[in-house]
Amino acid sequence: MKKTILLFIFFAICSTITAEDGHNLWLRYETLNKAHVIAPQGGKTMQIAIEELKKYWNGKDIKLVIDKRLKNDDGFIYDADSICSHSEIGLLYGVYEALRTQQLSTNSNAGGYSAPKYSRRILNHWDNLDGSIERGYAGKSIFFSSKLKGYDWEKRIMEYARANASIGINGSVLNNVNASPKILTKEYLDSIKNIADIIRPYGIKVYLSVNFGSPMALGYTKTADPLDVTVRNWWINKVNEIYSLIPDFGGFLVKANSEGQPGPFDYGRTHADGANMLADALAPHKGIVMWRSFVYGAKHKGEDRVKQALNEFKDLDGKFRNNVILQSKNGPLDFQPREPYAPIFDNMKHTKQMAEFQITQEYTGQSKHLVYLATMWKEFFSFVSPDCLVGIAGVSNIGDDTNWCGHPFSQANWYAFGRLAWDPSLSADLIAHEWIQQTFGQNINEYAIGDMMLTSREACVDYMMPLGLHHLFAFDHHYGPQPDGYKAEYPIEWCPVYYHKADKNGIGFDRSSKGTNAVSQYREPYRSMFDNLQTCPDEYLLWFHHVPWDYKLRNGDTLWDELCGLYYRGIEQVVSFQKIWQDAQPYVDEERWSKVNVLLQVQLDNAKEWRNYTLGYFQTFSKQPIKYDFTGVSFMPISVSSKLRQ
Ligand code: BDP
């Protein structure tokens, strides 16, 4: 008896100090086991829908109804006591909507019809077969790492699928766009089949990144020429093999002739030749090809990098098969803290297009900085109509860390991606509040935390590269600043000095009609607006113009003073985040609170480093004082040939 009491006390203590490791993401429903669910016969997806309701629904009776009159497969109608959809997966989405609503304080407008804007809502994992993740900051690959085995591994994959289903994500490209040909070998396809079987009931299709040179690299053909019959047949057979294992396989994602990857140019063929060959192999199975437009340094080498993608693709508009989708990053360069939208979205009128967002924070502090990205993605949608896209891809930030994403707030970016892929008209604000309430409960100082999230991306822009500056990142890891970066052995497009072109006269990349004329790729009114220094928004100023240090901005400050002021403003913002987080302490469990607290200090230190290093360096050109209290490093003038800064 005594022993039992001791044990009881022991467990009671343990449960009060149970680690809150963030593993449960935004899925923190209380187990109630009180609902009575009326549902038709169904498969595994229906079973999951029923189980979720039985366990977590706080009402009594609820009906699940399949109604074939509803058009959109994934859409549903949800009201107080029923969820109705064309399909089982639509019902499951309805269940998660019902449970989300139940978690939120403002659920008065809940209910009605909801259907996704896009039928392809896809995560792109940049996972390598050795378990590492390109630009991954939250541990190893959940798919290819060996840390988890057997049941634990399956459970993890299932949790992954459930989290995705809860926000409507319905596709996963499992491997890196810099793809190893080995992914197409029997050994790997068998393990991909296992993954597909686990995630299928949650409505998630598997896609793979493929290396264009695969048949040759694996030793089956002498060439990878897309017009060669042996090559075409190899792909047809390979695709058939994949579908025999995974009947609902989604298709391929391809990075070709970019950053050293093989592609159709190697054989004098076009992107369309390459994409169409794969599309033809996939078409009988209803598979698709997502062909990336992230290309530079191939055909248009030497040209302003941000112009190259469109120049490579514009003549191919209308030449792609119906099951090819051109996938382009939101900006024309590479996931910078701020870029103008990529003009390729304006120009490819007869080609299906998808936008690629980067959820993993390669250029926004990785998993160390609190940067909520929904505001960036909404900015994109303020220029590019959601109607011109057929799908959305997000480069995942998921790894095998217990909390999935590294920084507790990075989970919000995964969440926001799913919600926006479902409905791009949702506001960043609403999504932030949904996430906060579900992740931290309703007692937290939600409005202050919400403000912190909503201003965090702008803060990051301010302390890293304000006023349209871009790619000032340290080589290779892309974490800290290296505005003086130049290596003769690297392509010039990897060197920060190519992008800011600071000299004694001023700073910025002249992409106006007097410069590289990148502005000409934009539709009006943006073309004229960006072209004219007077009308170009400050946010994009140094993206499009080389501006004198003494140039007077609209607010009356000189460019130099404004630049300095913004770096300081960014730092002040992070200080204010720390204050908000201090106030949140009573409402957040110790583990997550401390983790964020420590990371905010890292973020502040990094922000200061960005300011000191960057302003210290630019000051060698501006030769002007920094009006603020400055303790930056002092810089020797750089020795890069002035030609690079023309
Ligand atoms: C860049 C990354 C690089 C990726 C590349 C891509 O630095 O690791 O392979 O994009 O998107 O942002 O292909």
* pLDDT confidence band for 107 (50 / 70 / 90): low
Question: Could you identify the atom of ligand 1 that is nearest to the CA of residue 356?
Answer: 11
DSSP 283: G
Instruction: Report how far ligand 1's centroid is from the alpha carbon of 281 (Å).
Output: 27
Instruction: Report how far ligand 1's centroid is from the alpha carbon of 51 (Å).
Output: 40
608 C-beta closer than 6 A to ligand 1: no
* pLDDT confidence band for 145 (50 / 70 / 90): confident
335 C-beta closer than 6 A to ligand 1: yes
Active-site residue among 97, 228, 266, 334?
Answer: 334
DSSP 298: S
| Residues 6 or more apart in contact with residue 316 via CB below 8 angstroms | 270, 271, 272, 351
Ligand 1, atom 13: closest residue by C-alpha:
177
Q: Rounded mean pLDDT of 418-427?
A: 98
Identify whether the C-beta of residue 441 lies closer than 8 Å to the C-beta of residue 20: no
The domain covering 120-426 belongs, at the CATH homologous superfamily level, to Glycosidases (3.20.20.80)
Ligand 1, atom 10: closest residue by C-alpha:
334
Tens-place pLDDT, residues 324-355:
999 999 999 999 999 999 999 999 999 999 99
Mean pLDDT of the residues in the chain = 93
Measuring CA to CA, which residue among 210, 287, 216, 300 is closest to residue 256? Answer: 210
pTM for the model: 0.95
Question: Could you identify the atom of ligand 1 that is nearest to the CA of residue 395?
Answer: 11
Identify whether the C-beta of residue 358 lies closer than 8 Å to the C-beta of residue 342: no
Active-site residue among 21, 79, 259, 303?
Answer: 259
Residue 437 predicted with pLDDT over 90: yes
Alpha carbons 389 and 355: distance in angstroms, whole number: 7
- Residue-level pLDDT at 632: 53
Measuring CA to CA, which residue among 362, 208, 357, 377 is closest to residue 294? Answer: 357
Q: What are phi and psi of 133, to 5 degrees?
A: -130, 125
Instruction: Report how far ligand 1's centroid is from the alpha carbon of 297 (Å).
Output: 14
Measuring CA to CA, which residue among 55, 62, 19, 14 is closest to residue 37? Answer: 62
462 C-beta closer than 6 A to ligand 1: no
313 C-beta closer than 6 A to ligand 1: no
Measuring CA to CA, which residue among 398, 423, 380 is closest to residue 159? Answer: 398
The domain covering 463-509+546-645 belongs, at the CATH homologous superfamily level, to Alpha-glucuronidase, C-terminal domain (3.90.1330.10)
Tens-place pLDDT, residues 488-539:
999 898 999 999 999 999 999 999 999 999 999 999 999 999 999 999 999 9
- Residue-level pLDDT at 301: 84
Instruction: Report how far ligand 1's centroid is from the alpha carbon of 415 (Å).
Output: 22
Identify whether the C-beta of residue 331 lies closer than 8 Å to the C-beta of residue 342: yes
Alpha carbons 292 and 311: distance in angstroms, whole number: 14
Active-site residue among 225, 266, 273, 362?
Answer: 362
312 C-beta closer than 6 A to ligand 1: no
Residue 169 predicted with pLDDT over 80: yes
- Residue-level pLDDT at 402: 95
Tens-place pLDDT, residues 572-599:
999 999 999 999 999 999 999 999 999 9
Q: Where in the chain is the domain with CATH 3.90.1330.10?
A: 463-509+546-645
Quick one: what percent of the chain has pLDDT higher than 90? Answer: 89
Q: Count Cα atoms within 13 angstroms, Cβ side, for 258.
A: 19
- The token pair that represents 288 in the structure block: 């698709």
Instruction: Report how far ligand 1's centroid is from the alpha carbon of 289 (Å).
Output: 19
Q: Rounded mean pLDDT of 549-569?
A: 95
Ligand 1, atom 2: closest residue by C-alpha:
135
CATH number for 31-114 (one of 3.30.379.10, 3.40.1390.20, 3.40.50.1100, 3.40.50.2300): it is: 3.30.379.10
* pLDDT confidence band for 133 (50 / 70 / 90): very high
CA distances to 29, 78, 249, 434, 445 from 101, rounded to whole Å, are 11, 11, 32, 9, 20
| Residues 6 or more apart in contact with residue 492 via CB below 8 angstroms | 498, 644
Tens-place pLDDT, residues 16-33:
445 799 999 999 999 999
Q: Where in the chain is the domain with CATH 3.20.20.80?
A: 120-426
531 C-beta closer than 6 A to ligand 1: no
178 C-beta closer than 6 A to ligand 1: yes
177 C-beta closer than 6 A to ligand 1: yes
Tens-place pLDDT, residues 355-398:
999 999 999 999 999 999 999 999 999 999 999 999 999 999 99
Question: Is 356 exposed, middle or buried (CB count within 10 Å of its CB: 0-12, 13-18, 19+)?
Answer: buried
Instruction: Report how far ligand 1's centroid is from the alpha carbon of 489 (Å).
Output: 19
Outline where 532-627 has alpha helix (H): 541-544, 559-584, 590-622
Ligand 1, atom 11: closest residue by C-alpha:
294
Ligand 1 pocket test, pick from 125, 134, 137 with the greatest ligand atom count within 8 Å of Cβ, gives 134
What is the DSSP secondary-structure string of 107-132? -TT--EEE--S-SEEEEE--B-TTS-
Quick one: what percent of the chain has pLDDT higher than 70? Answer: 94
Residue 14 predicted with pLDDT over 50: no
Is-catalytic flag, 259? yes
- Residue-level pLDDT at 367: 96
Tens-place pLDDT, residues 208-267:
999 999 999 999 999 999 999 999 999 999 999 999 999 999 999 999 999 999 999 999
Measuring CA to CA, which residue among 266, 258, 268 is closest to residue 293? Answer: 258
Q: Where in the chain is the domain with CATH 3.30.379.10?
A: 31-114
134 C-beta closer than 6 A to ligand 1: yes
Outline where 167-289 has alpha helix (H): 186-199, 214-217, 229-245, 271-282
Is-catalytic flag, 187? no
- Residue-level pLDDT at 149: 80
Ligand 1, atom 1: closest residue by C-alpha:
334
Ligand 1 pocket test, pick from 175, 178, 327 with the greatest ligand atom count within 8 Å of Cβ, gives 178
